[in-house]
Amino acid sequence: MTLNEAQTRAFQIDPQLRAADWKLKDRTQVGLEVPVDGYDAEPWNGVTDYCLYDPSGNVLAIVEAKRCSRHARDADEQLRHYVTEIAKKQPFAPFGFMANGHDIWFWEVGLANPRLVAGFFAPADLERLKFLLRNRRPLEATPINSSIVDRAYQHEAIRRLAEAFAANKRRALLVMATGTGKTRVAMALIDVFLRSNQAQNVLFLADRDALVDQTLTDGFKAHLPHEPRDRIYTHQIDKTKRLFVATEQTLALCYAKFSPGFFDLIIFDEAHRSLFKRFTEVIEYFDARMIGLTATPANFIDRDTFRVFGCDANVPTFLYDYPQAVKEGFLVDFSLYQAHTSFQRKGIKGVDLSEEDRNALAEQGIDPDSLDYAGTAIEVDVSNRDTLRKQWEEVMETCLKDQSGQLPGKTIVFAMTKKHAHRIAEVFEEMYPQHVGVAQVIMSTTERVRDGSYGDGLITKFKKNNLPRIAISVDMLDTGIDLPETVNLVFMKRVVSRHTMAGLTEPKCNNFGDALRTERADLASGTDSSA
């Protein structure tokens, strides 16, 4: 805080510029203390601290420096005047930075208010921003590609977001029920950004490998096939692409390999995730416009998510919820089947046992009053294969089946633990040896396994092939996976999430445990609906 302006520049601002790939010794790229001709020296000296040049010799940006003890925004009026004077002598107005060694503010003078950024932009960033600024067209006036989205509410979602950005907002939140086409809306919105010259570098983030791969193939490749695309790995970053996908975990490890201005648009899938709260540093690092996507009902989203995406009064930028989608015929409502067994929810306590059971335990040397198993502990501590047999009998009796009536339709079984998942699969194979390859365990430890003949992961195999029919999962297929063929969801675990149960009206369903069945319209009818 005791550094004067010259020291602040030498010890703090100069290193920050070098970190952004500006070569301070190259006077064709960086000019120091460049006079602004014709400007009265009072109250300033009419000299810019730094001029950042493009290859043609035009000024791309001005950097105004202040000593550490002063606020960087003290340079507002000074910078505004310099930009105005320089714009009279070249084809475009330069960008502006204000820095005091701690904070850096970026300013597109006359177009938007100054905003705090994490660092200086690289030369390539400013060249790209200059091109976009000079060639941009209004987002709200750019036609939407109806081959990507063809429903009225999807078009409305894109227009709402376009209007928000046209009003100089930097962030937006899109809340749409599962199955209503969030990914398609995101692809159509990216297409609008690209065609209106308001973005070139776009990043799509998710928190799981399967969702990232799904976006790369079913999203970018399917709907924007001519745009160069790539997945970001910590060891492999190809900055020549335009469309990027990455897991949040990967980006958290390598985000500093990008400059703060590298991306023009970042889309966060499942933006309500708890991981998102630990991702704040990465979010604040990039200057891009940002869009959060989630299927979680608006009243279940925490306030921090609304705040991060700039939504006042906990109101998302656009909302299309499950009841509305069902009412308008785009989703088919589910039916709930409550299994008869309940001890997995209530647990087993000796005091609740019959006299016959208490006597049987006593004969085995077990004090029945010492028996106190929570519901979750039953599967964690006890390998109760007889329970699983009863559950499978009930599932196979009540589930929706294929046209033959012999095999279940595509079914996801949610297990409690990895060991539990394997026990579930083993019991199924013992009970139904005639159904070879029908059930498959899919977990984080197995999702990257490749099938030699198809080269696809197990999730893709489940999605596209006849077998397996039953995917047994632990925290792998709960959110965001696009599996429209699924007709049965079976919960062999206690469910307490309000998010999962959104849309159910009976309070008792907030705690159901053994089996949930969801119905879809007859797939043969071609009705587009959601499990």
| Predicted pLDDT at 297 | 78
| Predicted pLDDT at 305 | 85
CATH of domain 139-327: 3.40.50.300
R_g (Cα) of the chain, nearest Å = 29
Query: What amino acid occupies position 10?
Result: A
| Predicted pLDDT at 46 | 66
List Cβ neighbours of 172 (8 Å cut-off, separation of 6 or more): 161, 164, 165, 290, 291, 292, 309, 310, 311, 317, 318
| Predicted pLDDT at 264 | 98
> Is residue 99 a contact partner of residue 64, using CB atoms and an 8 Å limit?
yes
Residues in the chain predicted with pLDDT less than 70, given as ranges, are: 1, 37-46, 273-278, 339-351, 361, 371-384, 444-456, 475-481, 494-531
| Predicted pLDDT at 480 | 59
Q: How many Å apart are CA 187 and CA 39, to the nearest integer?
A: 48
**372: closest CA among 353, 349, 351, 352?**
349
The correct CATH number of 5-135 out of 1.10.287.70, 3.40.50.150, 3.90.1570.30, 3.90.700.10 is 3.90.1570.30
Q: How many Å apart are CA 529 and CA 332, to the nearest integer?
A: 6
Dihedral sign, Cα of residue 303, residue 307, residue 313, residue 316: negative
Is it true that domain 343-525 has CATH number 3.40.50? Answer: yes
198, exposed or middle or buried, with CB in 10 Å at 0-12, 13-18, 19+? Answer: buried
Angle at 230 between CA 176 and CA 463, to 5 degrees: 55
**464: closest CA among 478, 481, 480?**
481
Widest Cα–Cα separation across the chain: 104
pLDDT in tens, 352-404: 777 777 777 677 777 777 766 654 555 544 446 777 888 899 899 889 998 88
Q: pTM here?
A: 0.78
| Predicted pLDDT at 478 | 62
Q: Cα 238 vs. chain centroid, distance in angstroms?
A: 21
Q: How many Å apart are CA 446 and CA 444, to the nearest integer?
A: 6
Indicate left, alpha or beta for 302 from its phi (over 0: left) and psi (-120 to 50: alpha).
Answer: beta
> Is residue 245 a contact partner of residue 212, using CB atoms and an 8 Å limit?
yes
Judged by DSSP in three states, 234 sits in coil
Q: Cα 460 vs. chain centroid, distance in angstroms?
A: 20
* Domain residue ranges in the chain: 5-135, 139-327, 343-525
**Same fold flag, 139-327 and 343-525:** yes
Residue 52: both structure tokens together: 């950042």
| Predicted pLDDT at 494 | 66
Q: How many Å apart are CA 95 and CA 102, to the nearest integer?
A: 20
Looking at 10-151, list the stretches that DSSP marks H as alpha helix, in order from N- to C-terminal side: 14-19, 76-87, 123-135
For residue 390, how many other CB atoms are within 10 A of its CB? Answer: 15
- The 10 Å CB-count burial string (b at 16+, else e) for 419-433 is ebbebbbebbeeeee
| Predicted pLDDT at 339 | 67
Q: Which segments within 70-117 are labelled E, that is strand? A: 95-99, 104-107, 115-117
Q: How many Å apart are CA 473 and CA 271, to the nearest integer?
A: 22
Judged by DSSP in three states, 60 sits in strand
